[in-house]
Amino acid sequence: MYIHNLNPVLVDLGIIQIRWYSLAYIFGILIGYYFAKHLTKNSRLKNIITDNLLENYLIYLIVGIILGGRLGYVIFYNASYFIQNPIEIFFIWQGGMSFHGGILGVFLSTFYFCKKQGIHFLNLLDLIVVVAPIGIFLGRIANFINAELVGKVTGSNYGVIFPSVDKFPRHPSQLYEALLEGMILFLILQLMLWKKRSLIRGELSCYFIILYSIFRMICEVFREPDEQIGYVIFSLSLGTILSFIFFAGALLILKKIHEPTFKVNY
């Protein structure tokens, strides 16, 4: 039985704090960026996006992740609280980011960037999704360090006690998500990218959403629903419902791009 005693603050300089949560975003974006550059030179995605375009896109990606993720959390998960405490919307280092909001933010920022640059939206999006699990993995590890998004109470030997929550052993659901949504999703997408004989433009993006949604719905079984929301309907959390909506939408898009009039292979 592990008792959680991790400090979410790596360095405390008084006025300035360096938190693991912030570092997860910084390193997730940087590692993803350099790996994306590698893919543009060594995979079937090579020569589709240039280094210069990728570098210019980085700021759009960061804005999309932060604004989409934070506003998604504010709107989907805790609107009433932030209406009363609007200044705390900007306290992103304390946690509180919605992955589904982040997806929408990245979608919109990528679409806007591609329209300005005159490149196909799905070309860039397919590149981004195959590196995105790196950031998801680091983000879920940071959730564990922060002792947030905790799992349900369990009697198993691998339960974790989060003293800041209560004295009961709980599923380390953050680590389940890091494994499924991060490591395993990354490996599956890499296999598809490198081994699949043909790929239709947009196919990787659809499979990313589909697989993430499946993994997220599995992990939601072990995760406590958000305290301020609880279960939305029956025993379904908001995370499960949002994941199912994204899953269904991605399936419809996947069906659409497989139509003969749409197919463009890499």
> What pLDDT digit, counting tens, does each position of 14-73 carry?
788 888 988 999 999 999 999 999 998 877 777 678 888 999 999 999 999 999 999 999
pLDDT (tens digit per residue) in 133-148: 999 999 999 999 999 9
pLDDT band at 120, cuts 50/70/90?
A: confident
- For residue 228, what pLDDT is reported? 81
Model pTM? 0.91
Which H helix or E strand runs over 9?
strand 9-12
Residue 200, helix vs strand vs coil: strand
d(CA 30, CA 219): 27
d(CA 134, CA 40): 17
pLDDT (tens digit per residue) in 235-247: 899 999 999 999 9
